[in-house]
Every structure is written in structure tokens, then in C-alpha cells.
Amino acid sequence: MRFGVHCSLKKGLSGALLEAKAKGCEAMQIFTRSPRMWKMRTPPDGEINKFKKLRKELKIFPLVVHIPYLPNLASAKKKLFDLSLQALKDDLSICEKLGAEYLVIHPGSFSEDSNM
């Protein structure tokens, strides 16, 4: 069994790894952005490479990425669905770049209302 923690990115990707290790954890979960925001800043390649190297050194496994709370992939509202799909694509892309093993999503709920 491995123990993990949800880490903040306030101190960057590497800071999140150090936070997990300092708490005695072997696994970690992160949001790639504020869980209540649509836009995501993609970290520069140098920051990603530093993260991957440090993660290997610290033996943090698995890495779980959590999609923000706003997306609703089951929505009939076109604008909301489009934003949700883009958020999922963005998070899948960053998962691949970071080498994350898992992505947590909440698919949302269907509504007949097509206005938005």
C-alpha cells in the first residue's frame, strides 16, 4: 500500500513533490490549475523536465492529476460541453507531459437545457 497526499502547486511542480515527500508520502495528486478555473498555464519544458527528474529521485508513484470541478462532459449546453472537452484535452496533454499514471474526472450530469 502506498500513501499519498493532494499537493498544492503554489511552489511549482517540484515544490509539490517536496511537499509530498516532507509529509512522508510515496504518491501524490495535483490539480493542474485552480480547481475552480477553466484556463491552465502549461509549465515550460524546463520545469517539466526538472519535475520528472525529481519525481524519479524521490520515488513518488503514482502521480494522479485531478481535472477541475467546473467541467461537465455530460452537459447538453454546447458552450459548457465545449469548455469541458477542452479542459479534458488540456489535462490529458499535461498528464502525458508529466508522466502521470492517472487522471481523475467527474463526468457531470445531463440536463435537457441546451441554452448557454
- 46-101 residue pLDDT tens: 999 999 999 999 999 999 999 999 999 999 999 999 999 999 999 999 999 999 99
**Residue 84 included in any domain:** yes
Task: Provide the pLDDT for residue 110.
Answer: 87
**Residue 110 included in any domain:** no
Q: In three state form, how does the secondary structure of the chain look?
A: CCCEEECCCCCHHHHHHHHHHHCCCCEEEEECCCCCCCCCCCCCHHHHHHHHHHHHHHCCCCEEEECCCCCCCCCCCHHHHHHHHHHHHHHHHHHHHHCCCEEECCCCCCCCCCCC
Q: What is the CATH number of the domain that holds 39?
A: 3.20.20.150
Under 8 Å CB-to-CB from 22, ≥6 apart: which residues?
Answer: none
The overall average pLDDT reported for the chain is 94
Question: Measuring CA to CA, which residue among 33, 21, 93, 5 is closest to residue 57?
Answer: 21
Residue 40 has pLDDT above 60, yes or no: yes
**Residue 31 included in any domain:** yes
Beta bridge partners of 4: 27
Task: Provide the pLDDT for residue 75.
Answer: 94
The whole-model pTM stands at 0.90
Confidence band for 12, pLDDT divided at 50, 70 and 90: very high
Structural domain including 73 reads 4-104
Task: Provide the pLDDT for residue 115.
Answer: 56
Total number of domains constituting the chain: 1
**Residue 112 included in any domain:** no
**Residue 114 included in any domain:** no
